[in-house]
C-alpha cells in the first residue's frame, strides 16, 4: 500500500519536475524551486544546512558505520555520467551501509558532487558558515523497509546520504583519479555518454576518521527536495588537488537546444530526474517507469523518428576531447568561440544554498573537537561475504538480495 502511494507521489512529482526544468541560475535557480514545484522544496526540514559546530549535541549512540561487500567483487564497475546537474556515479546497488546510528540497512545507489567555480564556495553544507570547494554525496536507500529507491525517497528515513567535504591539497587524491580521468568523456551531458571505471571500496572515499560525523534530519538538495534523508556530514575533510578540481569545472551544462529539438525531450527530462535519484539503478523500478514512459510517449507522440542516443558508448581510451567527437547520434551544438559563452556553458556552482534549521538539533558522534581519536575499535567494519567472519543471517540475507537483484536484472534485460 505504502509502496503504491509512494510510487504515485513520486510519479506525480516527476511529471511536475519534467514540466518545469530546474537549474542553479536565474529563474530556474534554487530561489524558484518552491514556485516551480509546489509541495516540494518549501518544507521545514530542508537541506543543506550550515552546521554551527559549537551548537551540536554529542550523541553516544552514533557509532561507527558498517559497510558491507566492501571492497566490491573483482571486475565490478562504477558507471559515470553527467546528468546535467552533477557528475553522478552509479554503483549498481552492490554496497550496503548500516550502523552509524541507522536503524536499518541502506543500499548504496549512487554518488555525485557539488562544486563551485572558485575555491571559496561549491559545497552544499557549510561548517560554521564556511563552505568547502566541493562536496560529495553518497546516496543510500533503506532496503530493509522498502522495495525500491523510488519508494524510499518519499518516506521519512527512507534515504541516508553521506556528505563528504573536500579541501584543496597540493597533491592529487589517488582515490579520485579514475573518476577525474574519465570526466573528459562525459563532460557534455547532451551526448549522454556513460563511462565505466573499476569499482572500489566505498570506504576509501570517506575521511580517515569515518567515526566522526554530524547527524541531522533533512531533505534531498535537488527537486523534489523530499524530506526523507538522514544526513551524515563527516567531521574531517577529504582532499582534492587544484588540477582535479579544475577538471570538474570543465564539465558542461546541457544546452537548451537539446531540449527543444527532440520529441523525446520530455521522457529524457523524466529520465534525468530518475537518474538524479539513482532510480535507474533499480531494475524493477526501471522497468516499471520505462513502461509508463513508453505508454506516455506512445499516446503523446506519433512521430518517433529521432533515434535516442545510446547511453552505452564506451570511452575510447584516447585523449581526444569528447566535445570534438562527432560519432554520436545526438548532434551537439557547435561551441562558440566566445570565452564568456564558454563560462556560461560550464556546469559550476551546482549547489543549493543553506536552508533554515527551523529548530532542528544537529547531533555529533564524538564528544570533543580536535584531532581524530586514534584507531582501535573505531574502524569501519568490513564484512566479506565469502569470509566465514561475516557469515550470519544478516549477511546471507544480503547475499540472497544480491542474487535476486542479479536475477531480476537479467530477466528484465531479456524482457525489454
Ligand atoms: C529524525 O527524525 C526521527 C523521527 O521523527 C527521530 O526519531 C530522530 O531522532 C531524528 N533524528 C535526528 C538526528 O534529529
Ligand atoms: C551479523 O552481522 C551483522 C551485520 O553487521 C552484525 O551487526 C552482527 O553483529 C552479526 N552477528 C553475529 C552473530 O556475528
SS (HEC) of the chain: CHHHHHHHHHHHHHHHHHHCCCCCCHHHCHHHHHHHCCCCCCCCCCCCCEECHHHCEECCCCCCEEEECCCCCCCCEEEEEECCCCEEEECCCCCEEEECCCCCCEEEEEEEEEECCCCCCCCCCEECCECCCEEEEEEEEECCCCCCHHHHCCCCCCEEEEEEEEEEECCCCCCCHHHHHHHHHHCCHHHCCCEEEECCCHHHHCCCCCCCEEEEEECCCCCCCCCCEEEEEECCCEEEEHHHHHHHCCCECCCHHHHHHCCCHHHHHHHHHHHHCCHHHCHHHHHHHHHHHHHHHHHHCCCCCCCCCCCCCCCCCCCCCHHHCCCCCCCCCCCCCCHHHHHHHECCCCCCCCCCCCCCCCEECCCCCCCCCCCCCCCCEEECCCCHHHCCHHHHHHHHHHHHHHHHHHHHHHHC
Atom of ligand 2 nearest to the CA of 381: 5
Q: Is the distance from the beta carbon of residue 66 to the nearest atom of ligand 2 less than 6 Å?
A: yes
Q: Give the model's pLDDT for residue 45.
A: 96
Residue 298 has which C-alpha cell?
A: 506512445
Length of the chain: 416
Given the C-alpha cell 534525468, which residue does it identify? Answer: 272
Q: What residues contact 234, with CB distance under 8 A and at least 6 apart?
A: 162, 163, 164, 165, 206, 207, 209, 210, 212, 213, 214
383 alpha carbon, closest ligand:
2
Given the C-alpha cell 517507469, which residue does it identify? Answer: 289
399 alpha carbon, closest ligand:
2
Profile the chain (416 residues) by mean pLDDT over runs of 10 residues. Answer: 48 50 88 84 95 96 82 84 92 82 93 95 97 97 90 93 97 96 90 88 90 96 93 96 96 67 43 55 44 50 34 36 35 51 82 97 92 50 40 46 48 46
Q: Is the distance from the beta carbon of residue 394 to the nearest atom of ligand 2 less than 6 Å?
A: yes
Q: What residues contact 152, with CB distance under 8 A and at least 6 apart?
A: 6, 141, 142, 143, 145, 146, 158, 159, 228
In the chain, where are the structural domains located? Answer: 43-383, 386-416
Q: Is the distance from the beta carbon of residue 99 to the nearest atom of ligand 2 less than 6 Å?
A: no
What separation in Å is there between the alpha carbon of 146 and the centre of ligand 1? 19
Atom of ligand 2 nearest to the CA of 395: 2
Are the CB atoms for 138 and 108 separated by under 8 Å? yes
What separation in Å is there between the alpha carbon of 352 and the centre of ligand 2? 38
70 alpha carbon, closest ligand:
2
Residue of the CA atom closest to atom 10 of ligand 1: 217
Q: Please give the Cα distance from 241 to 228 (Å, whole number).
A: 33
Are the CB atoms for 13 and 196 separated by under 8 Å? no
**How many CA atoms within 13 Å lie on the side-chain side of 263?**
13
Atom of ligand 2 nearest to the CA of 392: 1
Q: Please give the Cα distance from 305 to 118 (Å, whole number).
A: 43
Q: Is the distance from the beta carbon of residue 396 to the nearest atom of ligand 2 less than 6 Å?
A: no
For a mutational test of ligand 1's pocket, the pick from 214, 217, 233, i.e. the residue with the most ligand atoms closer than 8 A to its C-beta, is: 217
**How many CA atoms within 13 Å lie on the side-chain side of 315?**
24
Angle at 112 between CA 21 and CA 307, to 5 degrees: 55
Q: Is the distance from the beta carbon of residue 215 to the nearest atom of ligand 1 less than 6 Å?
A: yes
Q: Give the model's pLDDT for residue 339.
A: 63
Q: Give the model's pLDDT for residue 72.
A: 78
Q: Please give the Cα distance from 180 to 191 (Å, whole number).
A: 18
Q: Give the model's pLDDT for residue 62.
A: 95
Q: Please give the Cα distance from 67 to 100 (Å, whole number).
A: 10
Residue 106 has which C-alpha cell?
A: 541502506
- In this prediction the pTM is 0.71
Catalytic status, residue 85: yes
Q: Give the model's pLDDT for residue 327.
A: 35
Given the C-alpha cell 553527467, which residue does it identify? Answer: 82
Q: Which of 81, 85, 112, 185 is catalytic?
A: 85
Q: Please give the Cα distance from 348 to 86 (Å, whole number).
A: 9
Q: Is the distance from the beta carbon of residue 206 to the nearest atom of ligand 2 less than 6 Å?
A: no
Q: Please give the Cα distance from 238 to 111 (Å, whole number).
A: 15
Please state which CATH number belongs to domain 43-383: 3.10.200.10
Amino acid at each position: 500500500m505504502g509502496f503504491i502511494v509512494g510510487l504515485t507521489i513520486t510519479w506525480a512529482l516527476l511529471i511536475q519536475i519534467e514540466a518545469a526544468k530546474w537549474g542553479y541560475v536565474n529563474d530556474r535557480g534554487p530561489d524558484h524551486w518552491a514556485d516551480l514545484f509546489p509541495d516540494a522544496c518549501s518544507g521545514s526540514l530542508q537541506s543543506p544546512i550550515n552546521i554551527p559546530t559549537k551548537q551540536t549535541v554529542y550523541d553516544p549512540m552514533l557509532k561507527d558505520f558498517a559497510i558491507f561487500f566492501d571492497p566490491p567483487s573483482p571486475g565490478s564497475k562504477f558507471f559515470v555520467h553527467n546528468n546535467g546537474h552533477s557528475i553522478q556515479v552509479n554503483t549498481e546497488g552492490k554496497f550496503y551501509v548500516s550502523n552509524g546510528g541507522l536503524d536499518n540497512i541502506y543500499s548504496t545507489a549512487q554518488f555525485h558532487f557539488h562544486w563551485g567555480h572558485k575555491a571559496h564556495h561549491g559545497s552544499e553544507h557549510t561548517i560554521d558558515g564556511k563552505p568547502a570547494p566541493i562536496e560529495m554525496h553518497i546516496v543510500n536507500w533503506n532496503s530493509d523497509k522498502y522495495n525500491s529507491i523510488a519508494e524510499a525517497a518519499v518516506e521519512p528515513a527512507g534515504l541516508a546520504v553521506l556528505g563528504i567535504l573536500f579541501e584543496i591539497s597540493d597533491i592529487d587524491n589517488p582515490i579520485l583519479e579514475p573518476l577525474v580521468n574519465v570526466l573528459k568523456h562525459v563532460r557534455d551531458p547532451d551526448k549522454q555518454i556513460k563511462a565505466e571505471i573499476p569499482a572500489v571500496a566505498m570506504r576509501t572515499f570517506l575521511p580517515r576518521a569515518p567515526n566522526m560525523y554530524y547527524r541531522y534530519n533533512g531533505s534531498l538538495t535537488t527537486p523534489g527536495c523530499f524530506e526523507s534523508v538522514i544526513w551524515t556530514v563527516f567531521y574531517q575533510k577529504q582532499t582534492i588537488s587544484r588540477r582535479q578540481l579544475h577538471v570538474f569545472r570543465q564539465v558542461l551544462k546541457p544546452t537548451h537546444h537539446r531540449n527543444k529539438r527532440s520529441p523525446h525531450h520530455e521522457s529524457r527530462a523524466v529520465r534525468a530526474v530518475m537518474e538524479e535519484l539513482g532510480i535507474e539503478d533499480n531494475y524493477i523500478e526501471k522497468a516499471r517507469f520505462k513502461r509508463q514512459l513508453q505508454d506516455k510517449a506512445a499516446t503523446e507522440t506519433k512521430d518517433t523518428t529521432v533515434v535516442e542516443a545510446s547511453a552505452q558508448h564506451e570511452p575510447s581510451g584516447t585523449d581526444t576531447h569528447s566535445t570534438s567527437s562527432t560519432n554520436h547520434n545526438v548532434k551537439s551544438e557547435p561551441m562558440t568561440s566566445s570565452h564568456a559563452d564558454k563560462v556560461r556553458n560550464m556546469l559550476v556552482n551546482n549547489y543549493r544554498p543553506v536552508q533554515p534549521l527551523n529548530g532542528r538539533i544537529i547531533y555529533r558522534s564524538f564528544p570533543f573537537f580536535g584531532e581524530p581519536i586514534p584507531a582501535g575499535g573505531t574502524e569501519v567494519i568490513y564484512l566479506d561475504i565469502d569470509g566465514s567472519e561475516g557469515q550470519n543471517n544478516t549477511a546471507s540475507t544480503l547475499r540472497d538480495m544480491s542474487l535476486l537483484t542479479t536475477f531480476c536484472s537479467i530477466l528484465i534485460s531479456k524482457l525489454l
